Amino acid sequence: MIERLRQLVETKSLSREEDEIADLVSRMLHDAGLDVQREGNNVWCTVGDRERPRLLLNSHLDTVPPGEGWTADPWTLREVDGRLVGLGANDAKGCVTALIEAVLAIRQRLDAGAALGGTVVLALTAEEENTGAGLGTVLDRLGPLDAGIVGEPTDLTPMIAQRGLLILRCIAGGRSAHPANTPPEVAENAIVTAARDIARLSDFDWGATHTQLGRCHANVTTMTGGVARNVIPDRCEFTLDIRTTPLEDHASLTRRLAAVLESELVVHSDRLVPIGTAPTAAIVRAVSRALPEAVPAGSPAMSDMVFLNGIPAVKIGPGHSPRSHTPNEYIRPEELRAGAAAYEEIIRAYFAEAATEVTPLDHERLAAGSSSDDRGRKEPTA
């Protein structure tokens, strides 16, 4: 696994520049005897003995650019004090390595005559770091999916919920005038209007508390207004970055905000929806069966789990999230081994759990506070 990780790390794969690593991964899987498919820089294959249920295993091949502070070449894997240091070693090439190892182990068991009870779909995809032409663009090519595992560095903590992102442009209007001729009590000052709205946010009802994620919250991240020091501004715009939970959809939250703010609200982005999987879902039960001491939690960070709305999924993997996007990013060899073993056990446990369900995915419809699971099963869409 360390040698496989070395090859992955030493193949540059910045977002939108994954051609070479997609070639590498395709060769790895093909040389292992798997039937590989590819679209763009997204690579996938299947292993199994029955068509359904189908379990997706996904992680991403791309990395962010290296920042300042690296003490050696980011694209050379180094072993330092028990750490495997290199760009993407933690996020998420360690997960890719462990997933490949687990799938090859399952394939070996099948070749030896063991039963699985379904199909594993391994999809290693591109452009996760910029939510571009990755998993969301090929999901409908992967066939019907009954559950998913998203490989991200979580220290093998199962993340069964993930925050969404709603970005709103808030545009306050006013009327241009000369400050010398306009007392503040009669001025129509767009900046003042925006300030009133920002103050209102502290008293706004952001909704109920989600079991794993807590409450929805928002931050003002940009603000512009005014054209000159001696002109009362007729326009002021600020940006709201809202991190949402599955307890309220983006459209409903936007309507409630519009009812209490004076500013006009324009949706800049609402496609990154919050995700929740029921604790009773077969995939969650499988993770608990494979990792009895692991306590399900919620993730504030984005991942390709966002594309699995309506598909019960868990985000889990070796490595530790705070190491991601940092100088001298690393993963430990023992984490790789534990990750591969955990993925293999989860796969086997999932098909055992799925086989016990009278009606497929009934448990997912019971998700507490999850908008995606309340609708029951649906065909995967991007």
The Cα diameter of the chain in Å comes to 89
pTM over 0.75: yes
Residue whose C-alpha is closest to residue 144's, from 34, 274, 308, 305? 308
Sorted by sequence, the CB contacts under 8 Å of residue 379 that are 6+ apart come out as: 144
pLDDT tens sequence across 154-181:
999 999 999 999 999 999 999 999 999 9
* Confidence bin at 376 (pLDDT 50/70/90): very low
Sorted by sequence, the CB contacts under 8 Å of residue 228 that are 6+ apart come out as: none
- Provide φ and ψ at 324, rounded to 5°: -65, 140
Q: Is the dihedral of CA 78, 80, 84, 86 positive or negative?
A: negative
- Is 233 in contact with 226 (CB distance < 8 Å)? yes
pLDDT at 369: 43
Q: What is the mean pLDDT of residues 101-112?
A: 97
Residue whose C-alpha is closest to residue 93's, from 105, 85, 82? 85
* Confidence bin at 356 (pLDDT 50/70/90): confident
pLDDT > 90 fraction of the chain, expressed in percent and rounded:
91
Dist CA 334 CA 368 (whole Å): 35
Q: What is the mean pLDDT of the chain?
A: 93
pLDDT at 131: 87
pLDDT tens sequence across 239-276:
999 999 999 999 999 999 999 999 999 999 999 999 99
Tokens 């294959």 -> residue: 45
